[in-house]
Structures are given as C-alpha cells and as structure tokens.
Structure 1
Amino acid sequence: MDIGELVQYLNRMSSSISEIGDKTSSGLQDIEIRLSDLDSTLTVTNVLLIVLIIVIALNTFLKWKNLKN
C-alpha cells in the first residue's frame, strides 16, 4: 500500500464518518419532531381526562344529593 492509496482510504473513512454524523443528526431531528407531536397529544389527552373526572365527580355528587332528598 503506497501513500496515495493510504490517503484515499483515509479520505473514504473520513467521508463515511461524516455521513454517519449527518444521518444521526437527521434521525435525531425526526425523533424530536415526533416527541413534540406526542407532547401536544398528551396535553390534549390530559385536559380531556380532567374534564371527564370533573363531569363524573359532578354527576356522582348530584346523584348523591338527589338520593338524600
């Protein structure tokens, strides 16, 4: 292996390492976008669950009050 082949080999290796970094960065951005969407969905779900709990508590209270009368 002469110097020219060694330089080519090192250049290809450097290029491959650079591609791995780019692909990793792209994958992380995709994951970040999906997590942001999931966070928004969970916020809406939590609000709906709180509303459901309030409605159930109010319904239970009103039934209890009507039975007492």
Structure 2
Amino acid sequence: MSAGWTYDNPDNDDLTAGSRKLNRAWYVTNQLRLAPSFLFGLDYLYWTTNYLGLPEGTDNRLNFYSVYTF
C-alpha cells in the first residue's frame, strides 16, 4: 500500500484566461499478487483544480487494474 500527494502552482503571470492556476491531488494505491503471473491493483485519487477566471473543479477517480505477466 502507498499514499502520496502532489501540488502544482504555476506563475499566474504566465497563464491565460481559463488556464489551470493550481492543481492538487492525493492518492492511495494498493496491489495484490494472487499468483506469480497475476497482479491486481486499486487506486483512489482526489483532484482539485483552480482555474484562472473559472470555478474550482474536483475529480474523484477510482482505478482498478489487472496485469498478467509471461
């Protein structure tokens, strides 16, 4: 299991209207190996984005993945 956080804050003087002026996200992820060749994982991400001249946006994302190696 792992967790993390990311943050991006560009210089507003470099942006045009509607550009992303602040991005923040945190995430939690976990992987489970059921057999030597089969891996399953689950990620949860929560994003918030502030835009120049627009309302804040949010995103809740849940990713499920499976991997088969040979």
Normalising by the smaller structure, the TM-score range is: under 0.3
Q: Which has the higher helix share?
A: 1
Give 1 or 2 for the bigger CA radius of gyration: 1
TM-score by length of structure 2 reads 0.17
Q: Which has the higher strand share?
A: 2
User: Which has the bigger relative contact order, CA under 8 A and spacing at least 6?
Assistant: 2
